[in-house]
Chains A and B, each alone.
Chain A
Amino acid sequence: NAGVTQTPKFRILKIGQSMTLQCTQDMNHNYMYWYRQDPGMGLKLIYYSVGAGITDKGEVPNGYNVSRSTTEDFPLRLELAAPSQTSVYFCASRLPGVNTEAFFGQGTRLTVV
């Protein structure tokens, strides 16, 4: 199994540009998450989804949008990139239940200049 796959791995954006970070998982997990990690800090939750068609905001949702049309895919959209969005973005997925582990992708390193 590939697990959680994120694309691209690296991206440089200019201020005001938009882009979509792709995330797909092949484990049939209901729950999916987007986190961002700034240098030297822990991960912060941006958005999450508990199933196709259901999304909700996390701790730091401003400047981002998500959609979940299928179980496998959970893209993250940046509409008007700002320098404050320079970060490493991680997608994760898991099955429901207290005894399940989260699986993370390898991350997308985004720089906004």
Chain B
Amino acid sequence: DAKTTQPNSMESNEEEPVHLPCNHSTISGTDYIHWYRQLPSQGPEYVIHGLTSNVNNRMASLAIAEDRKSSTLILHRATLRDAAVYYCILRLSNAGGTSYGKLTFGQGTILTVHP
């Protein structure tokens, strides 16, 4: 499975934008890039995903490099509630194999948001 590399931790101030990077230099053409986050004492929750184009939703934006070897999760205005561990995960498309949606979690990036 292709692996991802994320910084161990990042800090931000409230109401400022946050850019969380993820390197995935061995990504294959059928890998989707998914982001989940885990708030303290909770299960992970889905944030966003994409394949090649940049994506936006109500929670965040995902910027994907043209060569797809890296991506950046963008929180436009961090709030205290965004303090969490953020996981960047690659998912095989069903057409590319039989991953059955299994998610392989790394250690993620611990985001601290200062008031």
Q: Which A positions have Cβ atoms within 8 angstroms of B?
A: 4, 31, 33, 35, 40-45, 48, 50, 56, 58, 90, 92, 94, 96-107
Given contacts A48-B102, A97-B94, contact A107 B43 (CB under 8 A): yes
Taking a contact as CB atoms under 8 Å apart, the answer to whether A98 and B103 are in contact is no
Assembly CA distance A94 to B42 (angstroms): 18
In the complex, how many residues of chain B place their beta carbon closer than 8 angstroms to a beta carbon of chain A? 22
Q: Does B93 contact A (CB under 8 A)?
A: yes
- B101 contacts across to A, CB distance below 8 A: 31, 33, 94, 96, 100, 102
Other CB < 8 Å A-B pairs besides A48-B100, A56-B100, 15 of them? A33-B103, A40-B107, A41-B107, A42-B108, A43-B105, A44-B105, A45-B102, A45-B103, A90-B43, A92-B43, A92-B44, A96-B101, A98-B91, A98-B93, A107-B42
Assembly CA distance A103 to B107 (angstroms): 19
Determine the residue in chain A with the shortest Cβ distance to B44.
A104
Taking a contact as CB atoms under 8 Å apart, the answer to whether B46 and A101 are in contact is yes
- A44 contacts across to B, CB distance below 8 A: 105
- B100 contacts across to A, CB distance below 8 A: 31, 48, 50, 56, 96
A51–chain B nearest beta-carbon distance, Å: 10
Assembly CA distance A92 to B112 (angstroms): 26
A106–chain B nearest beta-carbon distance, Å: 6
Taking a contact as CB atoms under 8 Å apart, the answer to whether A42 and B107 are in contact is yes
Assembly CA distance A56 to B42 (angstroms): 25
Interface residues of B in 20-68 (CB under 8 A from A): 32, 36, 41-46, 49
Taking a contact as CB atoms under 8 Å apart, the answer to whether B94 and A98 are in contact is yes
A23–chain B nearest beta-carbon distance, Å: 11
